Amino acid sequence: MTQVDEKATQLLQQQFGEAIQEIIDFRGERTIIVPSDKVHAICHFLRHHEELQYNFITDIVADDMLPEYPRFAVNYHLRSMPRIHNLRIRTFVEDPDEGPQTVGDIWKVGTWLEMEVWDLMGIKFAGNGALRRLFLPEDWVGHPLRKDYPLGYEEVQFSFNWEAIQAKKPYAGSKRIVASD
């Protein structure tokens, strides 16, 4: 890994000790796994430490690892613009109603990224008072990126089955108007 990876890891271990649960290097990217209750403090440290300056959060994403437990993981993708370096902080979430503390006070865009995670995965972020539907209609039930979310199904129409598919369409029983030349 790079010198910046090593420096960030060393400073985090000095500052947070046992909170650094695991360090994973994969395909040139470093992921640091931390407990959910330490995410905010670690992100604040990474943003404001003058040797690191992770001043941009590129994304917050969640994984549904059903049937594993804890079921969810939240990943924070950070970028240090001055150091031209990326780092991922990952935490596991047992109960989606008791997710990590918001990072919206560290990076303003964090509020919107957390809103996206809540909308699609249902993980709440403590202290984020703006959690609402972002991509889905307000009356939508559930969170569609969860593995246990029921899938909708519509058979694909091909030349060999088009008549059967057309018969199932909502307009199948009504009189269709055909444009004439």
- Give 126's strand partners: 101
CATH of the domain at 12: 3.30.460.80
pLDDT means per 10 residues, the chain with 181 residues, are: 90 96 96 98 97 97 95 98 96 97 97 97 96 92 91 77 82 58 54
Residue 149 domain flag: no
Residue 99 domain flag: yes
Residue 150 domain flag: no
The tens digit of pLDDT for each residue in 151-172 reads 777 777 788 888 888 888 777 5
Measure the CA–CA gap between 136 and 123, rounded to whole angstroms: 15
Helix, strand, coil percentages for the chain (3-state, nearest 5):
30, 20, 50
Q: What is the pTM of this model?
A: 0.83
Residue 130 domain flag: yes
Structure tokens that stand for 73 in this block: 């993981």
Whether 20 contacts 32, CB under 8 Å: yes
Range of the domain at 128: 3-142
Residue 24 domain flag: yes
For the chain, how many structural domains are there in total?
Answer: 1
Residue 157 domain flag: no
Residue 27 domain flag: yes
Measure the CA–CA gap between 50 and 91, rounded to whole angstroms: 24
Measure the CA–CA gap between 100 and 131, rounded to whole angstroms: 13
The CA-based diameter of the chain, rounded to the nearest angstrom, is 79
The tens digit of pLDDT for each residue in 114-127 reads 999 999 999 999 99
Residue 176 domain flag: no
